[in-house]
Structure 1
Amino acid sequence: MTSQKDQRRHAIAELEELADLPLSAAQIFRRADEVLRPVLGYDGVCWHGTDPATGLVTSVLTDDLRLEDFRHAVELEIRTEDVTQFADLRRGGLVADSLTRATRGRPGDSRRFREQIAPAGFGDELRALFEAAGAAWGCAAFMRAPDRGAYRVGEVALARRAARSLGTALRHSQMRAAGSPAGGHPPAVLLLDSRNRVVRADDRAEVLLGEISDDAVGVFEVPTSLLMAVEQARAAKAAAGAPPRLRVRTHAGAWLVLNTSIMGCGADHLAAVVITPANADDVLPVVFATYGLTAREREVAVQVLRGRDTREIARALSLKPLTVQDHLKSVFTKAGVRSRRDLVAGLVASRVPEILD
């Protein structure tokens, strides 16, 4: 009979193999579900894709949970303070934690537990962030029925190991994803009412909604990324702050940016969303994260994209030419190329827009 330790070790080995397979993010999530459900012991899971640079959720995938409850989950995540929220986990450097552990055995102290988890018939929740190379590639919430008891220390530790493996697999998936140009199109504009229903949309926006659609569309009429952008904008307005720019990738691989503004207040307010092709400042952090470049290596890579030779890069960054060459060798190795020309070609294939001086 296989021991629990061996089962967990085998599960991690299977997850590590996903990085070498030509899988989409959705395929990685479904395979991870098959591997983790027996050893982690959960009864429901919600998988999310994220904007790698900000960690904001851009998609949802679940076969176990009611998507009708997702909007309230978004509101709780963005507009209230609670334990083990994804943003707090990332700021705290935790890749996984359970609700029971975070509340010291009092999950009822969590508003999310009282309003969503317990009414849905679950007794504990374990959240995990899938990070790699300094970027967030996805996240998940694993729900457990009350009769299983709370997640134990060993299970949280297993989730943390699994999270790192899945972060690597998702990063590699992004590296392999073929892109199609997003440029050459004017901005797309649409208006949503206070219940996130589309009131008006131009022709381009109608097309793009289909290109970034996910499971949430069947319930909310709009993709998760759009829902998150609007809710983030509402929260920012309430706090007199600026809403974040949300990056999202189309099914064809092109990067877009969602910019949202809230017009009016109360029940009759509208949310205006402008969807534009991502520019270099939007895309480069993501592409460099997929390669796993350090901060200095990213600076050198940008100089290469600007067409500068080794001496010019050395002057621009106050480095010795030999140091620049060392950084370039590391960049080439991580990007899987042999020359500057190959590096630029790879970035063009990733749909990085023209970089201006």
Structure 2
Amino acid sequence: MAARLDSICRTVLERATDAVNVTDLGRELSHQLARVIPHDGYLLVGLDPASGAGCFHTGERGYHSGTAHRLRTDTALDAHPHPFARLATGPCPVGVLSADHPDFRHSARVHDVMAGAGIISEMRVALTVSGVTRGMLILLREHGSRPFSAADSDHATQLARPLAAALKQFVGSKALRPASRRPLPPAVMVIGTDDRIRSMTPSGQAWLRELGLSPTSPGADDPASVGTQLNMTHLARPATGPAVTRIPTPQGWIVLHAQGLDGAGAGDVAITIQCASAPLLLPAVAAWYGITSRERAVIEQALKGLPVKHIARQLGLSPHTANDHFKAIYRKTGVNSREELVAGLS
């Protein structure tokens, strides 16, 4: 088994580099995991390393949007015993919820909602590496399968860090390039307490397509129910305040801002979607590409248009050292020049 786990660890990094989009990434990681942890469905969420908000997601045979909404918002349900925030910071990154476990014998979450959706067991895995949580993974087993076992949890614990590294590799292995799309006007959409789109500006439909979501009309049955927007709305509910996430797409980076509304719209969340600007994008890019604090300072000065000698003087470096930092930045981000670097962040 140890040899198989080692093989999976190597393979997930290789496949993350080759994955064209997040759908391919999710399917490949699920396929590799199934070698040691069979499962019927999964949900994979990548997190903006600078804000902790969801920035991409994919899944197959997961919870229906209505079930997912109830599991998150129904105050009559018992709280989930394994919140991701605790898994991410605790000694074990894995938590299992199963119908056959005596601790959950009277759990409405398990025996009402999960069972009603045909799910007998749920495994949650926080994907953290080097102190940064890169994502979250949920594996599901349906009725007719056996619940996740202690051995399954042990395997998931050993694979959590390689999976987190694979998420970083998926983003950080792609060369930083300027957006290939024609810029869209910023869009605003309002998400109600039922997680449905109440209204949006005309460009909202186009932005939903950019995000890989069905551009349904406001009030339709499948709005932003399973997308990054939903994650953002919950982060921006009254207790937590405004939220921001930067989303990598094949056409360039997108930024989402979410903020709860007051007054008559209390409980609703307004989301702004637009192309990412360099100052807002840099914190996430630095984390995804492994850029050091000193290298980030060099980039910040380069974005001001300063020549190398001025950058070196500003940061107390020699011009030679400043150029060495630029070379390291180019290597990490896959660009060939300062012009390409600035264009990739603009």
Once residues 276 and 74 of structure 2 are traced to their aligned partners in structure 1, the CA distance between those partners, rounded to angstroms, is 29
* Partners of 1:257 and 1:275 within 8 A in 2: yes
Following superposition, the deviation at residue 30 of structure 1 comes to 0.5
Task: Please report the TM-score for the alignment, with normalisation by the length of structure 2.
Answer: 0.78
Q: Is 1:70 aligned to residue 68 of structure 2?
A: yes
Q: 1:219 to 1:6 in 2, by over 3 A?
A: farther
Following superposition, the deviation at residue 293 of structure 1 comes to 0.7
Following superposition, the deviation at residue 37 of structure 1 comes to 1.0
Q: Which region of structure 1 is more displaced relative to structure 2, 275-284 or 145-154?
A: 145-154
Q: Is 1:233 aligned to residue 236 of structure 2?
A: yes
Aligned AA for 1:224? G
Q: What is the match of residue 26 of structure 1? A: 23
Per-residue deviation, residues 282-334 of structure 1 (Å, max 9, x unmatched): 21122223321111111112222323234322332234445434433432332
Per-residue deviation, residues 200-241 of structure 1 (Å, max 9, x unmatched): 32211222222224379795312612222222222xx2x3x5
Name structure 2 gaps, 5 residues minimum: none
Which secondary structure does the structure 2 equivalent of 1:258 belong to? strand
Per-residue deviation, residues 128-184 of structure 1 (Å, max 9, x unmatched): 326589573x4311234673453336313332243244224322455477733575x
Once residues 81 and 316 of structure 1 are traced to their aligned partners in structure 2, the CA distance between those partners, rounded to angstroms, is 52
Q: What is the match of residue 206 of structure 1? A: 205
Which secondary structure does the structure 2 equivalent of 1:7 belong to? helix
Q: What is the match of residue 344 of structure 1? A: 339
1:159-238 aligned at under 5 Å gives the runs: 159-172=159-172, 174-175=174-175, 179-181=179-181, 183=183, 185-214=184-213, 220-222=222-224, 224-234=227-237, 237=238
1:18-97 aligned at under 5 Å gives the runs: 18-68=15-65, 69-75=67-73, 82-90=80-88, 92=89, 96-97=93-94
Once residues 126 and 291 of structure 1 are traced to their aligned partners in structure 2, the CA distance between those partners, rounded to angstroms, is 26
Q: Which region of structure 1 is more displaced relative to structure 2, 12-21 or 22-31?
A: 12-21
Aligned AA for 1:158? Q
Q: 1:160 to 1:107 in 2, by over 3 A?
A: farther
Aligned AA for 1:292? G
1:274-289 aligned at under 5 Å gives the runs: 274-289=272-287
Aligned AA for 1:263? D
Once residues 225 and 26 of structure 1 are traced to their aligned partners in structure 2, the CA distance between those partners, rounded to angstroms, is 14
Per-residue deviation, residues 111-142 of structure 1 (Å, max 9, x unmatched): 86576556643235131326589573x43112
Once residues 270 and 195 of structure 1 are traced to their aligned partners in structure 2, the CA distance between those partners, rounded to angstroms, is 9
Q: What is the match of residue 158 of structure 2? A: 158
Q: 1:70 to 1:286 in 2, by over 3 A?
A: same
Once residues 203 and 285 of structure 2 are traced to their aligned partners in structure 1, the CA distance between those partners, rounded to angstroms, is 26
Per-residue deviation, residues 62-111 of structure 1 (Å, max 9, x unmatched): 2222323222344489x997554333444x277832237xxx99467988
* Partners of 2:41 and 2:140 within 8 A in 1: yes
Following superposition, the deviation at residue 248 of structure 1 comes to 3.1
Once residues 332 and 294 of structure 2 are traced to their aligned partners in structure 1, the CA distance between those partners, rounded to angstroms, is 14
2:269 alignment partner, one of 255, 265, 271: 271
Aligned AA for 2:233? V
Once residues 195 and 322 of structure 1 are traced to their aligned partners in structure 2, the CA distance between those partners, rounded to angstroms, is 57
Once residues 330 and 285 of structure 1 are traced to their aligned partners in structure 2, the CA distance between those partners, rounded to angstroms, is 17
Q: Which region of structure 1 is more displaced relative to structure 2, 173-182 or 206-215?
A: 173-182
Q: Cα RMSD (Å) of the superposition?
A: 3.8
Q: Which region of structure 1 is more displaced relative to structure 2, 280-289 or 121-130?
A: 121-130
Once residues 290 and 74 of structure 2 are traced to their aligned partners in structure 1, the CA distance between those partners, rounded to angstroms, is 33
Q: 1:283 to 1:260 in 2, by over 3 A?
A: same
Name structure 1 gaps, 5 residues minimum: none
Once residues 59 and 271 of structure 2 are traced to their aligned partners in structure 1, the CA distance between those partners, rounded to angstroms, is 26
Following superposition, the deviation at residue 36 of structure 1 comes to 1.0
* Partners of 1:300 and 1:327 within 8 A in 2: yes
Once residues 281 and 110 of structure 1 are traced to their aligned partners in structure 2, the CA distance between those partners, rounded to angstroms, is 46
Aligned AA for 2:150? Y
* Partners of 2:242 and 2:257 within 8 A in 1: no
Once residues 57 and 65 of structure 1 are traced to their aligned partners in structure 2, the CA distance between those partners, rounded to angstroms, is 17
Which secondary structure does the structure 2 equivalent of 1:285 belong to? helix
Which secondary structure does the structure 2 equivalent of 1:147 belong to? coil
Which secondary structure does the structure 2 equivalent of 1:99 belong to? strand
Which secondary structure does the structure 2 equivalent of 1:41 belong to? coil
Following superposition, the deviation at residue 39 of structure 1 comes to 0.9
Which secondary structure does the structure 2 equivalent of 1:55 belong to? coil
Q: 1:135 to 1:322 in 2, by over 3 A?
A: farther
Q: From the two aligned structures, give the one with the greater helix fraction.
A: 1
Q: What is the match of residue 242 of structure 2? A: 243
Once residues 197 and 333 of structure 1 are traced to their aligned partners in structure 2, the CA distance between those partners, rounded to angstroms, is 43
